Structure 1
Amino acid sequence: MHAERPLLSGLLSLLVALFAFLLAVQQVYNYDIWWHLKTGQWIWQHKEIPHTDPFTIATANAPWQPHYWLSDVLFALLLSLAGINGLILFKALVIALAFLLAFHLMLRQGVNPFLASALVLLAVPLAQFRFLLRPHIFMFLLSALFFWRLSVGSSAQKWYLLWLLPLMALWVNLHASFFLGLVLAGCFCTESLLQTLYPRYSREHRLPSPAFLGPLLLLLAAITLLNPFGLDLLRWILTDFILKQVTQGTITIEEHAPLVWGEHPGFWGLMLATATSFLLAWRRVRFFHLLVFLATSFLALRGVRFIAVATLLQVPLLGYNLQAMFDKLPAKIYRPSFRLQAALALPLLLIGSLFLFQQAFAEHKVYRFGLGIQESRFPKAAVAFLRRLDPAGNFYNTWALGGYLLWEWPERKVFWDGRSLEAQRRLAEQLEATSHLALGPLLQRFDIRAAILSLKDRHMAAYFRHAPAFRLAYFDDQALIFLADNALPPEKRETVRFFEHILPESPDFSYLASYAHSPVALRVEEELRHAVRLAPQSFRTHFLLGFFLEVTGRRGEALDQYFAAMQANPRLAFIHYDLGHRAGRLAIRLQQWDRAARLLREALRFQESSEFLFLLATALYQGGHTEEAEQTYQEVLRREPQQVASLVNLGYLYLDTGRFQKAEEMQRQALEAAPTNEAALFGLALALQRGGKREEAIQRWQEFLAKHPQSRWEQKARAYLAQLTAAQPATR
């Protein structure tokens, strides 16, 4: 049995590392990576570390402390050698190593390998939302290395702790999260002090003495000064990195938000489970572990940016405590053999990892598995449009877009970018507090003649829309572009058609209905068609044109545009604009059954909805796919057994396929839920008649005519009733 364990541990290590690696292989979707790459390139080209802002016009030469400078240089070099795909794989490798360390730390501490691997497999998806291509990836690996070295540190191996010194020197130049190393070392020193003061506090091994650890902690603190910014960096970490506000002016940084109950339920579960395990295993609890748990929980509660590293460090704590609890169980309790554990656990771990992987990259998630760039997240087409025009003067841009613009248009400086500089935060507050009337002189000071805005930047979009000198020249799913009257020479300006009536930044598109029968209806339609020509790959342009065509009565053309919108961005179509309901019902009304089925199948990928299933079943039924329609109706009824429309339609399907008894059963169930339902009464009478139940069929036809004398099926019902009453009953 023991001979098999190294092989088994190797297999489980491979499973854990591969799982974490694959969950970190995500297409680039975060804006910050672009200004990080630009910073790395700048440092490499200039052979110096900037202390002031070299990239923007609004905060030019403002103080800046790129504490991640070494990460940015490394990223830029890797990009030049291996491209963006190489960067993604490097990030995945760093994250996989971090979680592999957490797994092996549990094995080192005697945790059952199946328990350890299960805990890590459950933990990785909780941290996945922070697997971004940014310098903080080094926080995972370095905090895991620190925690490993401190957790296994003993008086006999105290000199191995000196490896923390070069790690800290590296960490302090890679990312500002190096303070976590000091926190972990401080927790370890506190446990050592407790062991010295209270000899009864004993564990499996003796810890190094405070006389050794105290100077080590001081050395670690001193090494944090080995950065280009000295004490200023430590001040910045305390005031900005840990205690930074979530929203300042027009800048909202979601990762700085505190953790609230109900959000990130998986991490709440982990934190509560770990806290409970400390209570249940209190006799074997290490004070170091308890302090680490309290510190990481505090950081995670303070800001969601720390949830991932808290998950990484708390999982070994939970594993250690659970193993301590299992070890305390009475000997008479049955303990399966190691072979039996392997036979049961390995298939479950494999199946579980496949399920978790599928859930991790579900359609509604923002991240996508794979290499390359998630193009739909970035305003590539808008930047290309603006570059082609090359307007005079400077341009204003939404703060979050700045880094991408720096990368895509290196010849031009941006107004500001995604770096959270103090000067940019103050400017954001100023812009937010400034009225639209006063914004003009402020922007004129920077010679702003164009603007590229995200669709969420409604404050500035409202300003440019109402500014007399600016007009909307372009929009798609990612950006709006406004141009000033003096931005282009006359010959170029004549080639640009501006939008006067469309409000693409508005989440409410119903305003277009007011234009449907107005004098400007043709002008609005021309603008919408021009928008489609400008941005043919945009969901928004096709959707707005489709909606306008629908409200003007051209439903067939509208459906064509809805299909084009769906193909351009299915996620936006079905999650944010509910195109499944709108276009699905429209296709059914137009009796385009195959198109309706195709659209509704796509909608179901993003949103499991009984209504979508019902509409899909109806489209399949009307399109002649009775077998699949029957299965789909049955799935609807499995979810909602009393859904009348599905009961009625399934009853008619059984009628059409000659299963009269089943048709009768379905219609009776429908009438139990809705006793006067017109379609159910008609269907039941017809099922009885075709099933040979003459007397009851006559009664049901009479009941139908009594309850629904004005029914559209009244003539058919009378004809069926006449057939029955005219026929002679069978004689023996």
Structure 2
Amino acid sequence: MESHGPKPTINNVARSPTAVPPNGKASRSSSRAFLLLLPLIVLPCVVQLAYTDFWMHAAAGRWILENRAIPHQNIFTYTAREHPFIDHTWLSQVVLYLCWLIGEVPAVRIFQIALVVLSFATLWRFWIRQGAPASLGLVVFSTAIFVSAPRFSPRPELFAAVGIALYLTHLYEFAQARRRHLWWLPAYMLLWVNAHGGMLTGLIIIAAFLCGQALDALRQRTQRRAAGGADSSCGGASASGLRHISAVMLTTTLVTFINPYGAQYYSALNPARLKIFTYQLTEWWSLLRAWPSMDLLTQTIIVVLGVVTAVCIVCRKERFSRSSALLFLAACYLLYTARRQVWTFAQICMVIIAVQTSGLPSVASLPVQLRRLGTAVACLVLGAMTFHQYARLRQAGIPLGLSVFWEDPPKGAADFIEKHTLQLRMYNYMDDGGYLAWQLYPQNLLFIDQLNACGTDLLQWDDKMVDGREIQSVVDHFNFDSMIITNEYFNSGLVQYLANSSDWAMVYWDAVSCLYLRRIPAFSEIIASDEYRALVPHGYRTRRGADNGNAIRAETERAISSGIETAALHITTGKLRLRMGETRRARTAFSRAAQLNPWDSRAFSGLATVCLLEGNDVSAARYATRALALNPRWSLPWKTLAQTHMHREDHRRAAKCLMQATRFASPADDAHRSLGLLLFQLNENKRSVEHLTIWLRSHPEDLDARFTLAQAYGSAGYAEQAREVFREITVAFPGHAPAWYGLASMEAQLGESDAAINALSESIRLDSRMRSLAQSDTAFASIRAHPEYRKLTQ
């Protein structure tokens, strides 16, 4: 019997036969397909707890529970104690701290996984109920999960992700008559507004959806009037439906004021405060600013996901929805303003694609071969995303596990402070503020934390310290008596200042962090007993005059015994052993580092260097290859691998390895020099010129490289450029006979007979062996008849 149900629209598309799976079996099968996505979702959540802002939020949650109050001003720093603080995330901070109390890292990770899975499971359920193809869903979800994965850290943003998923699905289901009301949205907002400041995204979603529904209704009303039809309904959304969404939006907006700060909650929108987020926090950078730092796969997925969503909106005219169009524009705008919105962008795109593809022919109606092909493509994409997810984690060097990754936070320095019960007025970097607040508060306050409850003036002071500008003026202004430095900044201008200053003493070092104390009477005993005199923070460079190997060994052993055993400490120890020629002990140190962190490419690169020095090219190549498997964008293992090929006289492979090294090396790296010299031997003169030129920009004093550059110019047919380089060499090194000889040959090729004779004469005067070379050199064919040439070569 023919069905006479309502015509499918955005208001009743749920009733269309194409909007649901054909049968319960297909629905259950599609639901089980979500299980295939779980490894991709869970994988980034089961690495060791790295240096995220979890510690900052957990410290704030602890303070809230201990004080039974919500903070209204800065609580962790001495530099901004009176600065107003609106803690938008107080509820999630309490939850994260309670998770830590219950089971530390495992409990935190379980809670994190639960929220991430809940957000995507909500969207997958919506996808299946729309009747969108499950195979297409696997492709869309796997790519969206991949680009969103960097945001899967234990932080308040997880609550926002769940809120966005619920808001999107509830709104569309109400418009499709799957839900009778939207009064759950204000209830969700009551939690959201106290868990994360991103609740504004929820209001944007409702507003965009409401505007789109109103525009659809207005358009269809106009069409009906033009056709002379009745106007009893608003078409795409009924008048009562629009009133309901409007009432829910108004209620939801009012609910946002139910927080500990009331209307002051919105003071965070102050442009001065927003400027803080984009000042130093890379996650708040605009998309254009952050784009170069993204990997190619992430860039590609963002573009493709956006294009596919736009095509789905525009091309399926029979299902065109202005709500979807406005939501997509909102998603693009959010992503454009801040890279951290990539997860929100992906969620909105997934929902829109689900709605726009829900009217496609049922998968069950397709030929078996097409269904199998779709399933195969979906599994291939899912497998590729999982592989790249795993590779990205390996490259980050953070191993899998449910424990803390101690290679980043300054735990050793903080333990030293607690052990000696020091009361300090310390300087610290913003990135370290979270963990230091977690471990040192309330005994010690910080210079700066990660809660952004400060003015831009403090960030400007911090910039001067980070950049090494006007350090002394900042020290005097804040009267620092101590500084905690982590290994990310061991080669900074600040560390150079401290290492060369007689006013500061390094009393703790473990290659992850170090602690400097000012030489004042209060610290005299600690400095006398614990100062490191032979080492500086970067570890493998000694102070001037500190050549005593025994002192270096003693201080290294002290660091190993007194600090936390980390791969970074053993890697630095291995480098020190290599510097002192102790290859056997270096091997032991690097091997221990590899045991502590099998994903640290530095350990295997160090082992490769040891094997190379021992003449074991096979093992050196194996370790270098393993280092590259962990971090293919590192030049040092490529250079080591090139050396093993050079020892086997496989110059072509060596050149390929050096070419890879130069891709990831700085212009001042000697990989450019080595490649330039090797390419000249291989008679690839133009490429040799390119790399030698790069090298000489930062090393103009390198005579051998400059001489080879001149030869490469000449061999490539650039006689004038070769002549100029030879002239530069003869001016800088007048006694360099080969340079005079090369200059003579270039002058001869350019038809400058007299200049060629003069240069040849000088080269023979400096080295008589040049005479025999000139006798058979075809470069002088044009001047062989010259009388002076005959005299010089006789």
TM superposition score category, shorter chain reference: 0.7 to 0.9
- Match for residue 253 of structure 1? 281
* Contact 2:624–2:640, Cα closer than 8 Å, also in 1: yes
Say whether residues 1:358 and 2:379 are aligned partners: no
Q: 2:516 is matched with which residue?
A: 482
Task: State the shift of 1:570 in Å.
Answer: 5.9
> Which residue of the other structure, out of 340, 344, 350, is the alignment partner of 1:305?
340
Q: How many residues align?
A: 610
More displaced, 91-100 or 433-442?
433-442
Answer whether contact 2:399 2:597 (CA < 8 A) is retained.
no
Contact 2:79-2:448 at 8 Å conserved across structures: no
Indicate the residue corresponding to 2:262 in structure 1.
230
Q: CA deviation at 1:552?
A: 5.3
Structure-2 separation of matches of 1:615 and 1:462: 29
Name the counterpart of 1:268. Answer: 303
Residue of 57, 66, 79 corresponding to 2:100: 79
> Which one of the candidate residues 429, 439, 442 is aligned to 2:460?
429
Change over 3 Å in CA distance of 1:79–1:562 after alignment to 2: closer
* Match of residue 588 from structure 1: 612
Task: Give, as a single letter, the amino acid of the residue that structure 2 aligns with 1:522.
Answer: N
| 1:725 corresponding residue in structure 2 | none
- Residue-by-residue CA offset, 1:22-78 (whole Å, 9 max, x unaligned): 443343213311121121122122222111122222222421111111111122222
What is the aligned partner in structure 2 of residue 710 from structure 1? Answer: none
1:470 and 2:504 matched: yes
Hey, what does 1:650 align to over in structure 2? none
- Contact preservation (8 Å) 1:361, 1:367: no
1:461 corresponds to which letter in structure 2? V
**Is the contact between residue 28 and residue 374 of structure 1 (CA under 8 Å) also seen in structure 2?**
yes
Q: With structure 2 as the length reference, what TM-score do the two structures score?
A: 0.68
Give the 5 Å matches for 1:568-717.
573-574=601-602, 580=605, 584-592=608-616, 595-596=619-620, 599-608=623-632, 643=653
For 2:169, what is the secondary structure of its paired residue? helix
CA contact (8 A) 2:397 2:599 kept: no
Choose 110-119 or 12-21, whichever is displaced more. Answer: 12-21
Following superposition, the deviation at residue 123 of structure 1 comes to 1.2
Instruction: Indicate yes or no: 2:431 matched with 1:400.
Output: yes
Alpha-carbon distance in 2 for matches of 1:521, 1:464: 19
1:555–1:531 Cα change, 3 Å: closer
Cα distance change on mapping 1:145 and 1:11 into 2, 3 Å: same
Letter paired with 1:224:
T
* Distance change >3 Å, CA 460–CA 425, structure 1 → 2: farther
- Confirm or deny that 1:179 pairs with 2:203: no
Cα drift, residue 394 of structure 1 = 3.2
User: Which digits, 9 at most, give the CA deviation of each residue in 1:388-412, with x for residues without a partner?
Assistant: 2333443332222122122223452
Task: Summarize the Cα distance change of 1:127–1:208 in structure 2 as closer, same or farther, 3 Å threshold.
Answer: farther
CA deviation profile, 1:470-523 (whole Å, cap 9, x unmatched)? 112233343221012237565544321323563518xxx7x66xx8xx864226
Q: Identify the residue that residue 326 of structure 2 maps to in structure 1.
A: 291
Please, which moves more after superposition, 253-262 or 198-207?
Answer: 198-207
SS in 2 for 1:600: helix
Tell whether the 8 Å contact from 1:155 to 1:209 is kept in structure 2 after alignment.
Answer: no
Three-state SS of the structure 2 residue aligned to 1:473 is strand
Deviation per residue, 1:98-137 (Å, 9 max, x gap): 1112222222223112212321122111100000100110
Matched with 1:378 is 409
Say which SS state the counterpart of residue 160 (structure 1) adopts. coil
Q: Is 1:542–1:564's contact at 8 Å kept on the other side of the alignment?
A: yes
Counterpart CA distance in 2 for 1:65 and 1:218 is 23
1:461 equivalent in structure 2? 495
Alignment of 1:55-74 (within 5 A): 55-74=76-95
Shift in CA distance, 522/366, structure 1 to aligned 2, threshold 3 Å: closer
With 467-476 and 105-114 compared, the bigger mean Cα shift is at: 467-476
The Cα shift of 1:539 comes to: 5.0
Contact 1:394 1:449 in 2 (8 A): yes
Q: How big is the shift at 1:224?
A: 1.2
Which residue is equivalent to 1:522? 548
Is the 1:393–1:487 Cα contact (8 Å) retained in structure 2? no
**Aligned residues of 2:45 and 2:112 also touching (Cα < 8 A):** yes
Unaligned runs of 5+ in 1: 623-632, 647-672, 677-732
What letter matches 2:504 in structure 1? Answer: F
CA distance in 1, matches of 2:638, 2:173: 55
1:40 is aligned to 61
**Paired position in structure 2 for 1:91:** 112
Per the TM alignment, residue 344 of structure 1 is displaced from its structure 2 partner at its CA by: 4.9
TM-score normalised by structure 1 residue count: 0.73
Kindly provide the amino acid, as one letter, of the partner of residue 260 in structure 2: P
C-alpha distance 619-50 of structure 1, shift in aligned 2 (>3 A): same
Does 1:499 pair with 2:533? yes
Matching of residues 50-199 of structure 1 within 5 Å: 50-154=71-175, 159-199=180-220
Look up the match of 1:212.
244
The residue that corresponds to 1:409 in the other structure is 440
Q: State the match for 1:653 in structure 2.
A: none
Aligned-pair CA distance for 1:343: 4.8
Alignment partners' CA distance in 2, 1:292 and 1:54: 38
Deviation at 1:234, TM superposition (A): 1.6
**8 Å CA contact 1:472, 1:500 repeated in 2:** no
The structural deviation recorded for 1:168 is 1.2
Query: How big is the shift at 1:3?
Result: 4.6
Q: CA deviation at 1:9?
A: 2.1
Q: Are 2:424 and 2:444, in contact at CA under 8 Å, matched by a contact in 1?
A: no
Q: Return the alpha-carbon distance in structure 1 between the equivalents of residues 384 and 37 of structure 2.
A: 14
Which residue identity is paired with 2:476? P
In terms of mean alpha carbon deviation, does 600-609 or 123-132 score higher? 600-609
Task: Spell out, residue by residue over 1:405-455, the C-alpha distance to the aligned partner (whole angstroms, 9 max, x if none).
Answer: 2222345223144334342543121343572332233232xxx43221223
Question: Cα gap change, 1:301/1:560 in structure 2, threshold over 3 Å: closer, same or farther?
Answer: same
Q: Check conservation: 1:91, 1:137, Cα contact below 8 A.
A: yes
The structure-2 alpha-carbon separation of the partners of 1:60 and 1:573, relative to structure 1 and needing over 3 Å to count, comes to same
Question: What is residue 688 of structure 1 aligned with on the other side?
Answer: none
- Preserved contact between residue 130 and residue 358 of structure 2 (Cα < 8 Å): no
CA 1:317/1:392 → structure 2, altered by over 3 Å: closer, same or farther? closer
SS at structure 1 position matched to 2:114: helix
SS of residue matched to 1:31 = coil
Cα contact 2:286–2:338 (8 A) shared by 1: yes
Distance 1:127 1:500 in 2: 46
**Compared CA separation, residues 341 and 228, structure 1 to 2 (3 A):** farther
Distance 1:359 1:129 in 2: 13
Letter of the 1:216 counterpart = V
Which residues in structure 2 correspond to 1:513-552 (within 5 Å)? 520-522=546-548, 526-527=551-552, 529-535=554-560, 537-538=565-566, 541-544=569-572, 546-547=574-575, 549-550=577-578
Q: Distance in 2 between matches of 1:76 and 1:288?
A: 39
Aligned mates of 1:520, 1:79 — CA distance in 2 = 45
Residue identity opposite 1:531 in structure 2? T
In 1, Cα distance between the equivalents of 2:450 and 2:636? 44
Please say if residues 416 and 424 of structure 1, whose CA atoms lie closer than 8 Å, have aligned partners that are also in contact. no
Deviations 1:515-554 (A, max 9, x none): 8xx864226x623651343037455555555445545555
Instruction: Write the distance in 1 (CA, Å) between the matches of 2:63 and 2:236.
Output: 51
CA contact (8 A) 1:389 1:488 kept: no
Letter matched to residue 484 of structure 2: I
Instruction: Tell me the SS of whatever aligns to 1:198.
Output: helix
**Can you list the C-alpha shifts for 1:72-96, whole angstroms capped at 9, x where unaligned?**
1122222222332111111111111
Q: Distance in 2 between matches of 1:35 and 1:282?
A: 49
